């Protein structure tokens, strides 16, 4: 797709206030999409939308009414949506199953799984109506693997991946493509949120390795969005060279 082909096409990015979502919003805007940045933090997405010539819509993906309002607000911007990036989500806690915190599990299920379900279901008619829709769901390597202490997050990410992959069959014959992007360690607010603002603990996740940065993932999403409409990139796993499957890292001495 050239910039002119994506001109005036609408791309909705959830979790656009920081990290992978923010970088993806910038990347899609540079490709010529009109980007609708969605998140809870109004000040962040309004500044981003101003900068990239897009639109900010404040919505919490765990809130039914907010997602319904998002769909209505999109009607006034454009009748259709060409690209949906399901990026909102995250982790809370790193407790073993024996000490599992049910509130953390509920939060992870609500944001990663039901959040993706709510937004996807609400925007599906608009994606179909575009005649050339694309849904990118940012899952994680946690959608394919398990690791000690990660059960709440890996369970939610496995479920989010299953939801996304199910649509690949259910939408067969409809003009909507589906891509799952599964990143490994990306240095964003992810670990800060997981560890409830404990910066030292968050930093230790990336100590001695060279993690991915948000733009590394956004570049891949931009590549996917720029493929011609007959090409469906089903899944991409992307992790740092310093990370192998199942929680193994090459950590250099600090
Ligand atoms: C997060 C992946 O490797 O940081 O989605 O646990 S990792």
Task: Please report, for the chain, the start and end positions of each structural domain, with discontinuous segments joined by +.
Answer: 3-243
Nearest CA to ligand 1 atom 2: 184
- For residue 161, give Cα distances in angstroms to 65, 119, 211: 24, 15, 23
Write out pLDDT tens, residues 190-234: 999 999 999 999 999 999 999 999 999 999 999 999 999 999 999
State the residue for tokens 């209505």. Answer: 72
**How many Å apart are CA 157 and CA 198, to the nearest integer?**
23
Full-model pTM: 0.96
- 219: buried, middle or exposed (CB in 10 Å: 19+, 13-18, 0-12)? middle
Q: Kindly tell me the burial class for residue 131, based on how many C-beta atoms sit within 10 Å of its own C-beta (0-12, 13-18, 19 or more).
A: exposed
Give which of 191, 217, 25, 40 is closest to 115, Cα–Cα: 40
How far is CA 53 from its chain centroid?
Answer: 21
Question: pLDDT tens for residues 39-92?
Answer: 999 999 999 999 999 999 999 999 999 999 999 999 998 889 999 999 999 999
- Output the CA 248–ligand 1 centroid distance in Å: 11
Q: Identify the CATH homologous superfamily for domain 3-243.
A: NAD(P)-binding Rossmann-like Domain (3.40.50.720)
Question: 156, 185, 214: which to mutate for ligand 1, most atoms within 8 A of CB?
Answer: 185
pLDDT digits (tens, 9 = 90+) for 7-28: 579 999 999 999 999 999 999 9
The reported pLDDT for the residue numbered 4 is 46
């Amino acid at each position: 797709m050239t910039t002119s082909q994506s001109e005036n096409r609408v791309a909705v990015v959830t979790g656009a206030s920081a990290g992978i979502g923010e970088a993806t919003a910038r990347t899609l805007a540079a490709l010529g999409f009109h980007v609708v940045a969605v998140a809870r933090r109004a000040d962040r997405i309004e500044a981003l939308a101003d900068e990239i010539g897009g639109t900010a819509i404040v919505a919490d993906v765990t809130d039914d009414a907010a997602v319904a309002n998002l769909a209505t607000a999109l009607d006034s911007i454009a009748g259709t949506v060409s690209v949906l990036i399901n990026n909102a989500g995250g982790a809370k806690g790193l407790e073993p199953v024996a000490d599992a915190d049910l509130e953390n599990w509920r939060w992870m299920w609500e944001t990663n799984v039901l959040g993706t379900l709510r937004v996807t279901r609400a925007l599906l008619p608009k994606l179909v109506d575009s005649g050339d829709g694309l849904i990118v769901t940012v899952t994680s390597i946690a959608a394919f693997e398990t690791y000690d202490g990660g059960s709440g997050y890996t369970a939610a990410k496995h479920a989010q991946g299953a939801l996304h992959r199910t649509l690949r069959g259910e939408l067969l014959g409809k003009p909507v493509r589906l891509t799952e992007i599964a990143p490994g360690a990306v240095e964003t607010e992810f670990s800060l949120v997981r560890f409830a603002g404990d910066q030292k603990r968050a930093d230790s996740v990336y100590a001695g390795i060279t993690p991915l940065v948000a733009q590394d993932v956004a570049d891949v999403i931009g590549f996917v969005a720029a493929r011609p409409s007959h090409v469906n990139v089903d899944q991409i796993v992307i992790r740092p060279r310093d990370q192998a499957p199942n929680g193994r890292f090459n950590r250099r001495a600090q």
